[in-house]
Structure 1
Amino acid sequence: MAIFLRSSIRFNSTLGCCGRGSLKAAFQAPRSSIRLYHGAAARKAAVAAAVQSSPTPIPPFMEAKSQLNVLQRLHDPAFYEGIAKLMDLRRKYIEDRSIFIRGEDMIPLLKALGVKDSDFAPLKLVSDHLGVDPTLNYREIKNGRFCFDFDTQSIRRLEKQPFTLSVGEEFRRHDSGKIREFEEVDNDLQLNTVLQALMVFKVFFFAGVPTAPRDLLDYSSNKFICTLFNTRTFTDRNVLGEPALEGVHTDGVDHTMTTLLGSNNMTSDSAITLMHDMREVTGSRLNNSQPALIKGHCQHRNFLDTMIIADTERKHSLTPVYAQDEAKRATRDMLIFFTRRPTLPGHVSYNIDSTNSHTRLPMEIPMWVPQTPAP
């Protein structure tokens, strides 16, 4: 188990965090050997066709009967061993408002929830078939919307909607407030039991865990909206991939979870995540941020390394993806889970926040929520 360092910033290989040398590099100016270009006009024409693509046929081993059913695990002692560890992690998250869990520790937890061993390998390859990003030319992407419904005790796929993040949600970038369309997450991902277990896993970290409220979210609702992004950020001779071009920011939600699927040809100082106090100026670049307001840091290095953060109580930023061999492409593949309550009238996303189920790509699995006292 690993949690964010909160006082000093020093190397700790057990935590999978970066040392002073790597962190120092995070504050340096971008490397001159990379040509920075973040426009994406040439890619926009491909977006309309991309979002209309037909769903991938469901392979025989991904039929509905093979989806994750955590309720079938209730008779297995290994399930309760996993739950005990999850509750310990939950307590750490409530205390620190952020947590980092190594992939090697995630695997037994996900298996306890019912993951099939045969689903781990396909998950590593799912990012090979992503769509174009309409505003960032160094990223490939798909997304999908899900509802964590505490009335039905289930997680279900929601119909496609556009996406936006605004300056009012502490997100400052050239595309802030723009309505964006992405190709949809398909059956190869949503019917993978590892992905489904990650969703059940996340429930433990937000169910009954209050955070500082956001404006115009319905905190009386028993539903949470989860927008899932599958992304590949890449760097090559023509472009520098920045997982957070926007600098210091929040994601406009209540809880954010990020999970690494894989990386290739990245340097050791690539994609370091820094946690910032909410007093840090939104949009600040790393080399202009205040060291005294850094609350912790981590680095996703291995398959299933996972970070969770209370998005209304910690801002965050990331260093770019640098290529170890500059003659070759460097890539970083992630799953990103944005989770919040439904919106209220007046919210920038109110008219694109449907809770209708997806009819073309249906998915619904049960979730299990332990009865715990309020923190």
Structure 2
Amino acid sequence: MELRQRYVKERWAFIEGEEMVSLLTKLGATAGDIEGMKTVSDNLYDDPTLPFRRSRNGRFCMDMEKKTLQRLAFQSFALSAEEDFKRYDSRQVRVFDEIEDNLQLNTALQALMVFKAAMIHGVDIGRRPLLNYDANKWVCTLFNVRTFTNKDILGEPALKGVHSDGVDHTMTTYLGSNNMTPSSAVTYMHEMEETTGIQIYETKTHLVRARAHHRHFLDSLIFVDHEYKHSLTPVFAEDPAKEATPDMLVFFTRRPVCEGHTSSSIDSLNQHERLRMEFPSSRLLYRLDKRFYMVRRKDPP
């Protein structure tokens, strides 16, 4: 709840990995599943548009009325310049390989989702156009990503420069890395006045709101995506002769879309037919309804 208060006030929070392990354990994650998160990125596939990334994704629904989280039907993925995502593949419909049971049935992953639901539930935010804020549901698109740099290519976690992710709340969780320099994959958060699409070296210092660096297992950053833009430094190799890789989980969470949205044709709320997963989050979210539902930006709990 202290983290929630910080999130309500600052609109972002960084949780050290050691603290996150403790939180996830209290939310039902087993020691074996927490350890298993370190290798879950070893079986990723080539990204559909980025040559320096391997990835999988999956869609989930946080249903705040039923107090459940469930896997949603497979859909393709798209982001547009109107959502502050300016890149050569903006608006392009991309098809990713799917996250499988080895990740979605991991109790640490499920605890991370409950944690995020607890952090964002009932918090007033800047609203995006064409999202259904009357729906008491969240659509969470989860990406499991390995960015890599080698002698032939530079891995850039944010090739698009300063951007937003087109959602309400973004959370990033660090799973590990190999051969990566300390200056790699540093996140900067910028005020919304910053220009979308420019590179870090072009940004204005007075518009940098915060800096966060994932360095330890399960270090996590969560922020209100429509109130901050962000950018990341590239991945640099300690030994240029070897591949450098950071592994991440990225949780994009927003309300369901309305007609006219870029993703209106690819935002089904149906359950996945093959990879079914549903689990209750009722105890924690019931407490949030009772104690924190009326939390507002200028009314700290």
**Above 0.5 in TM-score?**
yes
| Cα distance in 2 for residues equivalent to 1:296 and 1:222 | 30
Amino acid at match of 2:57: N
Runs of 4+ in structure 1 displaced over 6 angstroms? none
| Secondary structure, aligned partner of 2:251 | strand
Corresponding residue for 2:59? Answer: 145
Amino acid at match of 2:238: Q
| Cα distance in 2 for residues equivalent to 1:108 and 1:135 | 37
Corresponding pairs, count: 289
Corresponding residue for 2:154? Answer: 240
1:288 aligns with 2:202: yes
Q: Deviations over 1:64-93 (max 9, x none)?
A: xxxxxxxxxxxxxxxxxxxxxxx0000001
Amino acid at match of 1:182: F
Q: Whose relative contact order is higher, 1 or 2, with alpha carbons under 8 Å and at least 6 apart?
A: 2
Corresponding residue for 1:203? Answer: 117
Amino acid at match of 2:140: C
Tell me the CA shift for residue 121 of structure 1.
Answer: 1.8
1:156 aligns with 2:70: yes
Corresponding residue for 1:352? Answer: 266
| Secondary structure, aligned partner of 1:119 | helix
Unmatched 5+ stretches in structure 1: 1-86
Corresponding residue for 1:176? Answer: 90
Tell me the CA shift for residue 303 of structure 1.
Answer: 0.5
Q: Deviations over 1:257-284 (max 9, x none)?
A: 0000011111010000000000000001
Tell me the CA shift for residue 114 of structure 1.
Answer: 1.1
Amino acid at match of 1:374: V
Tell me the CA shift for residue 134 of structure 1.
Answer: 1.0
1:263 aligns with 2:177: yes
| Cα distance in 2 for residues equivalent to 1:218 and 1:107 | 33
Tell me the CA shift for residue 334 of structure 1.
Answer: 0.3
- What is the percent sequence identity of the aligned residues? 53
Q: Deviations over 1:211-260 (max 9, x none)?
A: 10000000000111000000000000000000000000000000000000
1:374 aligns with 2:295: yes
| Secondary structure, aligned partner of 2:36 | helix
| Secondary structure, aligned partner of 2:271 | coil
Q: Deviations over 1:199-220 (max 9, x none)?
A: 0000111100111000000000
Q: Which of 255, 258, 264 is matched with 1:341 structurally?
A: 255
Using the size of structure 1 for normalisation, the TM-score is 0.77
Corresponding residue for 2:2? Answer: 88
| Cα distance in 1 for residues equivalent to 2:189 and 2:172 | 13
Corresponding residue for 1:305? Answer: 219
Tell me the CA shift for residue 374 of structure 1.
Answer: 2.4
Amino acid at match of 2:295: A
| Cα distance in 2 for residues equivalent to 1:346 and 1:285 | 30
Q: Which has the larger radius of gyration?
A: 1
Amino acid at match of 1:147: C
- Of residues 141-150 and 364-373 in structure 1, the stretch that sits farther from structure 2 once superposed is 364-373
Q: Deviations over 1:14-33 (max 9, x none)?
A: xxxxxxxxxxxxxxxxxxxx
Q: Which of 105, 117, 122 is matched with 2:31 structurally?
A: 117
| Secondary structure, aligned partner of 2:143 | strand
